[in-house]
Amino acid sequence: MKRQNSLRAELGVIGGSGLYALLDEVVEVRVDTPYGPPSDALFLGEVAGRRVAFLPRHGRGHGLPPHRINYRANLWALHSLGVRQVLGPCAVGGLWPEYGPGALLVPDQFVDRTSGRVQTFYDGRPLPDGSVPQVVHVSMADPYCPAGRRAALDAARAAAWEPVDGGTLVVIEGPRFSTRAESRWFGANGWSVVGMTGHPEAVLARELGLCYTSLALVTDHDAGVESGEGVTHAEVLEVFARNVDRLRTVLFKALEALPVDRECPCPHALDGLTTGLPGVPGD
């Protein structure tokens, strides 16, 4: 086991272990954070000559349901190792008939329908070192990195997987799936897909000045789209397993294409708001 400060990474992926299983060399790194432990160790490897940190969102063995994930610890851990650009693949349900199993959507908006999740580092509470972060109100008008979205879309097309460019990901609390009424309401609002983990990842990444891009793999039609018994956990896992190799290819191509020098607005999210979160290394 390597000490947490001995290795660095510039890019991060928050997803399952199947996304890095084929890398030749992966180093496991444990990271302590002021917010408790992240979902699991970080696994550092190399993709196209670039150092990447992979973090299993639900832990090994999928032991953490969405509402119990320590999102703050996850983003803090990635940032503390030098990560500045993050890809966040997730499994979602399609809210429209055309968004069926196997579709890939790169959203440009999200809607938060969770409850009780801590979604800020700047909550006015003291950290273990006694410092108190200043309260700030970060802009989330455009929640995803434009450069990251371009890289993801181009990577999908290069892999012969025509993606849906844009759309709204509605994030629910989980771990249950939606009722038919909820699903129909989501679709009636014009929202595209529904998932359980995209929030507060995007918000916390923005507060750390990170670039964050969501890649939403549709595993099912949500309950209100089609007749039948509705989505099951087994169905989600089966469709995800069928597409994990393709998703891995897209992610690796996107990681290779992410710009080395960030010229997007993401690093400037806190400009004029604060001098930075105590204890977090800057760029």
Q: What is the CATH number of the domain that holds 26?
A: 3.40.50.1580
pLDDT over 60 (residue 283)? no
The pLDDT value recorded for residue 4 is: 43
Residue 197 lies in a domain: yes
The pLDDT value recorded for residue 232 is: 66
Predicted structure pTM score = 0.91
Q: How sure is the predictor about 229, in pLDDT bands with cuts at 50, 70 and 90?
A: low
Q: How large is the average pLDDT for residues 67-74? A: 96
Q: How sure is the predictor about 244, in pLDDT bands with cuts at 50, 70 and 90?
A: confident
Domain that holds residue 119: 11-268
Residue 165 lies in a domain: yes
CA atoms within 13 A on the CB side of 20: 26
- Based on the structure, what is the number of domains in the chain? 1
Q: How sure is the predictor about 25, in pLDDT bands with cuts at 50, 70 and 90?
A: confident
- From the list 112, 60, 14, 76, the residue with the least C-alpha distance to 209 is 76
pLDDT over 50 (residue 2)? no
Which of the residues are catalytic? Answer: 220, 222
CA distance 25 to 171: 34
The pLDDT value recorded for residue 236 is: 66
The pLDDT value recorded for residue 60 is: 83
In terms of Cβ atoms closer than 10 Å to its own Cβ (0-12, 13-18, 19+), residue 14 is: buried
254: part of which helix (H) or strand (E)?
helix 233-257
Residue 186 lies in a domain: yes
pLDDT over 70 (residue 230)? no
pLDDT over 60 (residue 62)? yes
Residue 19 lies in a domain: yes
pLDDT over 50 (residue 73)? yes
Residue 64 lies in a domain: yes
Least confident residue range of 21-35, 87-101, 106-120, 169-183: 21-35
Residue 273 lies in a domain: no
Residue 278 lies in a domain: no
Sign (positive or negative) of CA dihedral 219, 223, 227, 233: positive
The pLDDT value recorded for residue 200 is: 97
The pLDDT value recorded for residue 130 is: 74
The pLDDT value recorded for residue 280 is: 53
Residue 3 lies in a domain: no
- Please confirm whether the linkage preceding 200 is cis (ω < 30° from 0): yes
